[in-house]
Amino acid sequence: MRQAKVFQLSVTLLAAAFLIVPAIMSVMAGVTANYFRGIRSGLTLKWIGQVFELYADSILLSLYLALGCLIATLIIGVPAAYGLARNPGRTSRVLEEFVSLPLAVPGLALALALLQLYGTMKGFRTSPAFILVGHVLYTLPFMIRSVLAVLAATDLKTLEEGAATLGAGPWQRFRDIVVPNAMPGILAGALTVVTLSVGEFNLTWMLHTPYLKTLPVGLADSYASMRLEVASAYTLIFFVMIVPLLMAMQWASDRARRIAQ
């Protein structure tokens, strides 16, 4: 009994160390003057400054893309989730399954598919819209599922009938009843979409052009060609952006899940 507990605790601690130690090292390396000489060489913001000089465009592009992706998934995903919730039939199941394909199919395969069909459309291929399409494709199922889960747990039919007897037409019911009651799901979906978009690499790497690098593409670039301190500083900046997003996303998803039960 005792022994078993000690063993379990050791495994847990080892796993935690495995995950956190390199992350801490990366944070440290990002603010250390000379990583090879260690912390004795002093702390500095030089590397972070360099990252902003080199990669400010990438970071900005990622933020714009995340925003665009959020808007697109809201416009497409929220009405779609409502449409699916209102038609709980076989067709809806098949459609939902189909648009969820990007959850299962690796980004690399999706990117190849997009490239083969649209790669020759030069204006589109070289515009940020091309990357945006990839991001929307990948994040849309998260938005739809998150909203759908909350809507499915709401007695949407009766609430809408109630609003209809009070004179509300379809659009007014969508605005006044559906969207507000789906809000926990929309919030959770939105945070998930932004978190995933900011961190997306697999699709983006294939879809990007040399002039359009996103934050993770820049990361890969810095890992391959920059000194360790710069790569670490860049990773540190990424952590600062993504960790709060992740925590907000987990909080919102837990809340939405409780409501959807």
Partner 1 sequence: MTLTLKNAAKTFADGTAALKPTSLAVQTGEIVSLLGPSGCGKTTLLRIIAGLEAPDPGGQVLFDADDVTDLPVERRQVGMVFQSYALFPNMSVRANIGYGLKMQKLPRAEIEARVDEVLEMCRLSDYADRAITALSGGQRQRVALARAVAPRPRILLLDEPLSALDAALRDSLRDELARLLRRFEITAIFVTHDQTEALAIADRVAVMRDGRIEQIGRPEELYRRPASAFVATFVGHALALDGDVTGSVLALPGGNLPLPGAAPHLSAYVRPEDIRITPDGPLEARVESAVFLGTHYRVTLAGVTRHPLVAIHAAPEAPKTGSIVRLDIAPGAVLMVPAEGPAA
Partner 2 sequence: MTDRLFVTLCLVPLAIFSLAFLALPLGRLFMGAVEGEAGWGVYLQILTTPRYLSTLVQTVIISVLVTVAALAVSTTAGLFLTRNRFAGRGLLISILTLPLAFPGVVVGFMIILLGGRQGLINQIVPGHVVFAYSSLGLFLGYLYFSIPRVLLTVMAAAEKLDPALEEAARTLGAGPARVLRDVILPGIAPSLVASGAIAFATAMGAFGTAFTLATNIDVLPMVIYTEFTLQANIAMASALSVILGLVTWVLLVLARSYAGTTVAAGG
Among partner 2, partner 1, none, residue 89 binds (CB under 5-8 Å by kind): none
66 binds partner 2 (CB under 8 A): no
Round to whole Å and give the CA distance between 235 and 226. 12
Site string for partner 2, 210-229 (x = CB under 8 A): ------x--xx--xx---x-
Round to whole Å and give the CA distance between 79 and 68. 17
Site string for partner 1, 134-163 (x = CB under 8 A): ---------------------x--xx-xxx
Neighbour tally for 112: CB within 10 Å = 14
Can you tell me whether residue 227 is helix, strand or coil? coil
SS3 content of the chain, % helix, strand, coil (to 5): 85, 5, 15
Q: From the list 61, 65, 114, 156, which residue makes contact with partner 2 (rule: CB under 8 A)?
A: 114
Burial per residue of 80-105, b for 16 or more beta-carbon CB atoms within 10 angstroms, e otherwise: bbbebbeeeeeeeeebbeebeebeee
120 binds partner 1 (CB under 8 A): no
240 binds partner 2 (CB under 8 A): no
27 binds partner 1 (CB under 8 A): no
The stretch near partner 2 (CB under 8 A) out of 43-51, 120-128, 182-190, 243-251 is 243-251
Q: In sequence order, which residues have a C-beta less than 8 Å from that of residue 249 and are 6 or more positions away?
A: 188, 191, 192, 195
**Residues near partner 2 (CB under 8 A), total:** 89
Round to whole Å and give the CA distance between 222 and 48. 13
70 binds partner 1 (CB under 8 A): no
Among partner 2, partner 1, none, residue 34 binds (CB under 5-8 Å by kind): none
CB-based contact 69:136 (threshold 8 Å): yes
Among partner 1, partner 2, none, residue 136 binds (CB under 5-8 Å by kind): partner 2
Q: From the list 27, 54, 183, 242, which residue makes contact with partner 1 (rule: CB under 8 A)?
A: 183
User: In the Cβ-directed half-sphere of 135, how many Cα atoms lie within 13 Å?
Assistant: 33
* Positions 210 through 239 that interact with partner 1 (CB under 8 A): none
Between 167 and 210, whose beta carbon lies closer to partner 1? 167
CB-based contact 115:203 (threshold 8 Å): no
Site string for partner 2, 19-58 (x = CB under 8 A): xxxxx-xx--x-----xx----------------------
Between 26 and 181, whose beta carbon lies closer to partner 1? 181
Q: In sequence order, which residues have a C-beta less than 8 Å from that of residue 148 and are 6 or more positions away?
A: 81, 84, 85, 96, 185
Per CB under 8 A, residues contacting partner 1 are 155, 158-159, 161-169, 172, 176-177, 180-181, 183
